[in-house]
Amino acid sequence: MTPTHWIHRPLEHCEEANVVFFRGLTSHDLTQGLLDQRRMPLAHGKGTDWGVLVHYMHSWDMDEYDSVDYGRLCPAGGELAVFVTEPCIAKAHGPWFSYYRDGRLICGFSFETLTLPGGDDPDLLLPALETSRLIGEQAQLDGDDREERIVGAIAGFLGLPEWEMP
């Protein structure tokens, strides 16, 4: 089973960090693209198929809080599975997930509203979420492990590697 506890804080010393699984592009290209968008990479790792990179959610510019343009970072043949772990700490919003392929948003949703996805193929992950009993008639919405179960369903569907916090 893929460790999923990092969804609450991917790096112990850092709040508001995004976790990006990537394939079809190099760690160097992804790092450079993030730096070009004024985002500081914090940690990275490489699996056999997917790599992983953690970066600050916000720009190092004091008054710039726009989201990263991940489509620009995802060339033809590339894939990104992006977890925004703390989209708004002050308002206690749940994490957000986006899946990009060839520069296009394929599927994205808030962990708070799993049944309202967007993108070119918004229903892509719905079968995995239903099988994991996160949506549908058999949904089990109670429990402190809901966000971990969502990450587990996504990771299983996309074949994301196991990743422990550094």
The whole-angstrom separation of Cα 114 and Cα 44 is 28
Which tens digit of pLDDT belongs to each residue from 93-122? 779 999 999 999 999 999 988 989 999 999
How crowded is residue 17: how many other Cβ atoms within 10 Å of its Cβ?
22
Structure pTM? 0.89
pLDDT in tens, 65-91: 678 999 999 999 999 999 998 766 555
Structural domains of the chain, ranges and CATH numbers in brackets: 9-120 (3.30.70)
State the chain's mean pLDDT as an integer.
Answer: 86
Angle at 145 between CA 140 and CA 149, to 5 degrees: 70
SS3 74: coil
pLDDT digits (tens, 9 = 90+) for 139-161: 877 777 888 999 999 999 999 98
Q: Are 57 and 86 in contact (CB under 8 A)?
A: yes
| Distance, CA of 55 to CA of 52 (rounded, Å) | 10
Closest CA to 31 of 53, 2, 14: 53
